[in-house]
Structure 1
Amino acid sequence: MAVENNFPPLPGFIPLKPCFYQNFDEIPEQHRDTCKKLYHLWIFHSATLAVNFVGCLVWMFAGGGVTNFGMAIMWLILFTPCSYVCWFRPIYKAYQTDSSFQFMAFFFVFMAQCFISIIQAIGIPGWGVCGWLGTISFFGTSIFASIIMLVPTLMFTAMATFSFIALTKVHNFYRGSGGSMSKAQEEWTTGAWKSPVVQQAAGQAAMGAMTAGMQGPGQEPQYTAPPPNYDYDNQV
């Protein structure tokens, strides 16, 4: 049965359609809570970039220059969708299909995300972020603007902290479950990472073989109805 993309949930008057299918019920129950927390972390990241945009706007009107405001627009427009595609979707698919390749893709991108969040929290002037350096140095120019700038600064600091904690927890889980780089390379070589349907069928076949092996002589093998198949071609 084909599924209809439902994310992002766009209003009807916008002539665009959702690009992804997202349903946390298809995540195994033991991983669902973690996956939702990572999704909330992405929402917090997007909100931080939006608040930073406001902070840089106030910073510009208070005499901070146009460069930071222009860069803040780039951070917001470019990195909000890129962060969703580049690190949330891989971890969503990793938990959905138990894919080592998707876990490795998440680790590679999310480590960069952590590093970027630290730089944003520091707040190098001219980088389009209201970090600690820019906020503290501007207190002598405008206290009001600096207080506004302090809000995204604190959010960037929280984002860097939460990102490091999330990366550590996911990595500990992955290593504890027997994941490795060699598994990811094997998935890449065989192409199994591209087809959740094939992975699901392989898992069912292995389970069926195990069940048949456990049955005694003369016993009829027992079959269970396969779970519904979904058309993953519409997913990104």
Structure 2
Amino acid sequence: MTRAVHDFLFTVYPYICLAVFLLGSLARFDRDQYTWKSDSSQLLRSGQLRWGSNLFHIGILFLLFGHTVGLLTPHWLYEPFISAGQKQMLAVVSGGTAGLLCFIGLTLLLQRRLSDPRIRATSQPTDIAILVVLWAQLVLGLVTLPFSVHHRDGGTMMILADWAQGIVTFRPNASALAVVDWPFKAHMVLGMTLFLLFPFTRLVHVWSGLASVGYLFRPYQVVRSRRLNLAADRTEPRRPA
């Protein structure tokens, strides 16, 4: 990889992906709200879907939360409680377990969609494509685990976290990634590409999942039974005319 390509991928490309991710999601919500969903194929075949979907969603939610907290939490915030090396090994164990569960679930979902003629006939090309990209991303993530175990001092994790925090604060430092092993870089580039593809696939339903958190804090809905009201009207004494 040349220096120019390296600098583009880890300095400019992240902002392109984030811009398309945000603006594309907004445009799709504004123009194509009827496609803002994940089409269910449960009626066609439910057994394998239950295992695959549950394992995939449990794993992917843990990975999303873990990557966000692990990369964007400043080192000084957790340094009094846990060292960088300990944090990296914690990420290897917990992330590896979640990644394996997610990989098994996604493999079941992908095999189900490709092997069942009815499900494949009702699938959009983007449905299969995004599952393949996610599958490849999980494989790359699992490949990084032995490299992380080899660097137990937490140095690699610190470099990746500094880069991610630099992206958020508009101070990207691509040169620091020069010493990072290739699986990490491939994993990062494909992860950014997922943000680029997000608005054009069924992944947009993730926004609805995040918005549903507000459901927990909604005010109670007052429901009055019409049947009870009619019964009360019949039993209420009436004044003579």
What TM-score comes out, normalization by structure 1 length? 0.37
Larger radius of gyration: 2
Return the structure number with greater relative CO, CA threshold 8 A, min gap 6.
Answer: 2
As a proportion of its length, which structure holds more helix? 2
What TM-score comes out, normalization by structure 2 length? 0.36
